[in-house]
């Protein structure tokens, strides 16, 4: 679930829909590369989570009980996950041109002239609160007994409440 959310965030960045505060961090050359380029690595890291998730079912004593765990597909999924992690680390450190969205490359070529980062920070908040909600859902479904009973619902509640508050507000007539 978290991997899917990161993939969606990566697509929002590439499409130029999410141009929040991270663009200002990206433009600041004094910051470390991982801080500047981390958002560009959302897509490969998200895909790594997506590939690792089915493979994690094959760990421990359940290995022989799940038929697909002994197939080459399980190994291929884990290998694809490792490749995505390596690619994500490379993108986060180096940020090659092919990893940058077209709108970001155009902004850099134009020395940021006329380029605005008008997207509300609410988009980033919404993604953050959705992540908290998804984490809460995971805790509620597979967490240990005592944690499942209180932490899952609390995290889901924080995610939902934050998501509702982060949505764009309509202008009210004065």
Pick from 125, 124, 122: nearest CA to 39: 124
Mean pLDDT, the chain, as a whole number?
Answer: 75
- Structure token digits, residue 163: 């998501």
pLDDT tens by residue, 105-147: 888 888 877 666 555 556 666 666 666 666 666 666 666 666 6
pTM over 0.75: no
Rounded-to-integer distance, Cα 6 and Cα 39, Å: 9
- pLDDT for the residue 15: 81
In the prediction, which pLDDT does 167 show? Answer: 55
- pLDDT score of 62: 64
Phi/psi class of residue 163: alpha, beta or left (left: φ > 0; alpha: ψ in -120 to 50)? alpha
pLDDT of residue 37: 85
Task: Output the 3-class SS for the chain.
Answer: CHHHHHHHHHHHHHHCCCCCHHHHHHHCCCCCHHHHHHHHHHHHHHHHHHHHHHHHCCCHHHCCCCHHHHCHHHHHHHHHHHHHHHHHHHHHHHCCHHHCCHHHHHHHHCCCCCCCCCCCHHHHHHHHHHHHHHHHHHHHHHCCHHHHHHHHHHHHHHHHHHHHHHCCCCCCCC
Structure tokens at 2: 């978290």
At 27-77, the pLDDT tens digits run 878 888 877 888 888 889 888 888 887 777 776 666 677 777 777 887 888
How much is the pLDDT for 87? 92
Please report the pLDDT score of residue 86 as a whole number: 92
pLDDT value at residue 63: 66
Structure token digits, residue 16: 């130029």
pLDDT value at 173 more than 50: no
The rounded distance, in Å, linking the Cα atoms of 103 and 86 is: 25
- pLDDT digit string (tens) for 8-38? 878 888 887 777 677 777 887 888 887 788 8
């Amino acid at each position: 679930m978290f991997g899917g959310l990161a993939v969606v965030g990566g697509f929002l960045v590439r499409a130029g829909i999410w141009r929040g505060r991270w663009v200002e961090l990206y433009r600041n050359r004094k910051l470390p590369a991982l801080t500047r380029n981390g958002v560009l690595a959302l897509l490969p890291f998200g895909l790594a989570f997506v590939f690792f998730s089915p493979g994690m079912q094959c760990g421990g004593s359940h290995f022989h009980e799940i038929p697909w765990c002994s197939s080459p597909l399980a190994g291929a999924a884990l290998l694809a996950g490792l490749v995505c992690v390596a690619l994500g680390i490379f993108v986060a450190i180096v940020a090659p041109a092919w990893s940058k969205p077209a709108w970001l490359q155009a902004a850099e070529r134009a020395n940021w002239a006329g380029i605005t980062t008008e997207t509300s920070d609410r988009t980033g908040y919404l993604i953050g609160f959705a992540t908290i909600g998804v984490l809460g859902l995971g805790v509620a479904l597979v967490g240990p007994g005592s944690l499942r009973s209180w932490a899952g619902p609390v995290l889901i509640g924080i995610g939902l409440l934050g998501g509702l508050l982060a949505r764009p507000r309509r202008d009210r007539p004065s």
